[in-house]
């Protein structure tokens, strides 16, 4: 999701009633995305959490560019001559706590009551979000071999926050893989020699778990069903794309695998291919194994087929203007693969009640949704064309009322789920006694 695009900043709740201001951090290799969300148990139950600000810190050469969008709609951009994550975070907090920010709820660093981190890989260790202590940090380190490009940055984010806010501030790790821990053995094992699973942990883990879980929880609220009654297929269609089969509220299968490369066609990733193609490309093109994997990750998918772009919005515009054959093909292959997964998951689940679309494409493109659903009438899915067309970036049911298999659009909000999990972990964890008493400001001052 584009961090700065959204305008749904909620402001109809008195902040005095709120218990915790949670800073959500998503630390990548060259950027740090953040949101400050005020929430507590009641706000979660009422879906009335308040987003105070959001933004991104990006590294450019020897400096960082910090962009913040505040709840009142104002936007601030400033650059700082550092490349260091901790120093960037300190600058951000200095600005947020200053009068100039207009974020009156955060007057001092101590007004941030907890930090929630997106952590990409929890391996087989973490089936749920965890309050971070040294043991959890070690576990995240142990998963580095499974996500060498991501977990090290997530750890840097945790350590930077520990420096900025002090060691006593509760921090929580929310893993992209956790929601898929419920996938049974027969669905997560690959049919390769079993010792490779034992030796190298080669199995399906699945990703986008925070997004699949968020839309699953929202679906329950919108459809008014219990967790046990939640039987849906969720499609996260953004730059990265994945499908998940949710039975009884739990993930029982998902399209991404050991890495995010498997499954649906994505912006630049191939998704499923015959594994023999890997060595064939390497031999014919004179590439190493790593280079071939990079080609499948960064040069394939919509970009690879169209030869033009990974951006679905641009592809749809091009198709409408020029009807270019490869552009048309890219879109067709994308939609066909998504429909194929819906069919496969319907079989795995013994039927479902709804398909839920989310992610930049799923939320915003009626045309792609219609093309994916076209031909699923046999399964009982009938789109309400008007509702589908009118639903752009909104929560809505887009199937007709008499459909047996419904379709919904539910915009994802991974940061919100991270903030909520942070609160839930703290309420359940050893530091819950601190909650009525926010940490002392002087203990938490920016160094």
The residues that touch ligand ADP, with contacts defined as CB under 6 A, are 1-2, 238-240, 267, 311-313, 316, 359-361, 364-365
Using DSSP's 3-state secondary structure scheme, residue 198 falls into helix
Measured in degrees and rounded to the nearest 5, phi and psi for residue 250 equal -115, 150
Q: 312 vs 419, which CB is nearer to ligand ADP?
A: 312
Find the helix packing angle between 366-373 and 312-322, rounded to 10°.
80
Write down the least CB distance from residue 316 to ligand ADP, Å.
Answer: 6
Q: 253 vs 363, which CB is nearer to ligand ADP?
A: 363
C-alpha angle 373-375-378 in degrees, rounded to nearest 5: 105
Long-range contacts formed by 430-435: CB under 8 A, 24+ apart: 430/131, 431/131, 431/170, 434/170, 435/19, 435/20, 435/113
Which residues fall within 8 angstroms of residue 53, CB to CB, at 6 or more apart?
A: 35, 36, 68, 69, 70, 71, 96, 101, 103
Helices (H) and strands (E) in the chain, counts: 16, 14
Write down the least CB distance from residue 113 to ligand ADP, Å.
Answer: 27
Are 166 and 88 a contacting pair, CB within 8 Å? no
Write down the least CB distance from residue 94 to ligand ADP, Å.
Answer: 28
Q: 44 vs 256, which CB is nearer to ligand ADP?
A: 256
Q: 356 vs 444, which CB is nearer to ligand ADP?
A: 356
The whole-angstrom separation of Cα 91 and Cα 88 is 5
Are 327 and 205 a contacting pair, CB within 8 Å? no
Which strand ranges, in their side-by-side order, compose the sheet holding 250-254? 250-254, 241-247, 232-237, 354-358, 406-409, 396-397
Write down the least CB distance from residue 51 to ligand ADP, Å.
Answer: 17
Strand partners, 21: 38
Write down the least CB distance from residue 303 to ligand ADP, Å.
Answer: 10
Kindly write down the DSSP assignment for every residue of 84-139, as one continuous string: -HHHHHHHHHHHHHSGGG--TT-SSGGG--EEEEEES--TTT-SS-EE--HHHHHH
Question: 435, 447, 445: which is closest to 108 by C-alpha?
Answer: 445
Write down the least CB distance from residue 385 to ligand ADP, Å.
Answer: 17
Q: How far is CA 223 from CA 56, 152, 161, 232, 332, in A?
A: 34, 39, 38, 11, 31
Are 149 and 297 a contacting pair, CB within 8 Å? no
For ligand ADP, the nearest residue by Cβ is 360
Write down the least CB distance from residue 24 to ligand ADP, Å.
Answer: 15
Write down the least CB distance from residue 208 to ligand ADP, Å.
Answer: 9
Using DSSP's 3-state secondary structure scheme, residue 234 falls into strand
Residue count of the chain, please give it: 447
Measured in degrees and rounded to the nearest 5, phi and psi for residue 148 equal -65, -20
Q: Write out the two tokens for 96.
A: 């947020």
- Residue 401: exposed, middle, or buried by beta-carbon count in 10 A (0-12, 13-18, 19+)? exposed
Write down the least CB distance from residue 1 to ligand ADP, Å.
Answer: 5
Q: 182 vs 309, which CB is nearer to ligand ADP?
A: 309
* 84 given a catalytic annotation: no
**Which member of 49, 176, 253, 421 is catalytic?**
176
* Residues annotated as catalytic (active site), given as ranges: 176
């Amino acid at each position: 999701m584009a961090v700065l695009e959204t305008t749904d900043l909620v402001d109809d709740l008195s902040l005095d009633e709120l218990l915790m201001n949670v800073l959500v951090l998503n630390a990548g290799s060259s950027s740090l995305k953040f949101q400050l969300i005020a929430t507590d148990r009641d706000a979660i139950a009422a879906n009335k959490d308040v987003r105070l600000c959001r933004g991104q810190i990006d590294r450019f050469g020897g400096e960082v560019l910090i962009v913040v969008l505040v709840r009142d709609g104002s936007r601030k951009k400033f650059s700082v001559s550092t490349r260091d994550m901790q120093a960037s975070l300190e600058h951000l907090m200095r600005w947020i706590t200053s009068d100039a920010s207009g974020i009156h709820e955060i007057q001092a660093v101590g007004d941030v009551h907890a930090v929630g981190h997106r952590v990409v890989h929890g391996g087989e260790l973490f089936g749920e979000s965890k309050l971070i202590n040294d043991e959890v940090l070690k576990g995240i380190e142990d998963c580095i071999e499974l996500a060498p490009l991501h977990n090290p940055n997530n750890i840097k984010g945790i350590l930077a926050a520990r420096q900025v806010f002090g060691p006593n501030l509760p921090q929580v790790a929310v893993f992209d893989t956790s929601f898929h821990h419920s996938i049974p053995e027969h669905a997560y094992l690959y049919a390769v020699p079993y010792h490779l699973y034992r030796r190298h942990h080669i199995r399906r883990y699945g990703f986008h778990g925070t997004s699949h879980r968020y839309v699953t929880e929202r679906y329950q609220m919108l459809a008014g069903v219990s967790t046990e009654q939640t039987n849906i297929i969720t499609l996260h269609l953004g730059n990265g794309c994945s499908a998940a089969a949710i039975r009884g509220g739990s993930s029982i299968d998902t399209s991404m695998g050991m890495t995010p490369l498997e499954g649906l066609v994505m912006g630049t990733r191939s998704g499923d291919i015959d594994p023999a193609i890997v060595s064939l490309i390497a031999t014919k093109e004179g590439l190493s194994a790593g280079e071939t994997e990079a080609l499948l990750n960064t040069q394939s998918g919509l970009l690879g087929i169209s030869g033009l772009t990974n951006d679905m919005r641009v592809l749809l515009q091009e198709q409408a203007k020029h009807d270019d054959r490869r552009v048309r093909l890219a879109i067709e292959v994308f939609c066909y693969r998504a429909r194929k997964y819906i069919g496969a998951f319907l079989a795995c689940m013994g039927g479902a009640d709804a398909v839920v679309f989310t992610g930049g494409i799923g939320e915003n493109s009626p045309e792609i949704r219609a093309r994916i659903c076209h031909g699923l009438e046999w399964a009982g899915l009938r789109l309400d064309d008007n509702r589908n067309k009118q639903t752009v970036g909104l929560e809505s049911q887009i199937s007709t009322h008499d459909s047996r298999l419904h379709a919904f659009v539910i915009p994802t909000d991974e940061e919100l789920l991270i903030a909520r999990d942070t609160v839930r972990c703290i309420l359940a964890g050893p530091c819950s006694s601190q909650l009525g008493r926010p940490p002392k400001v002087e203990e938490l001052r920016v160094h």
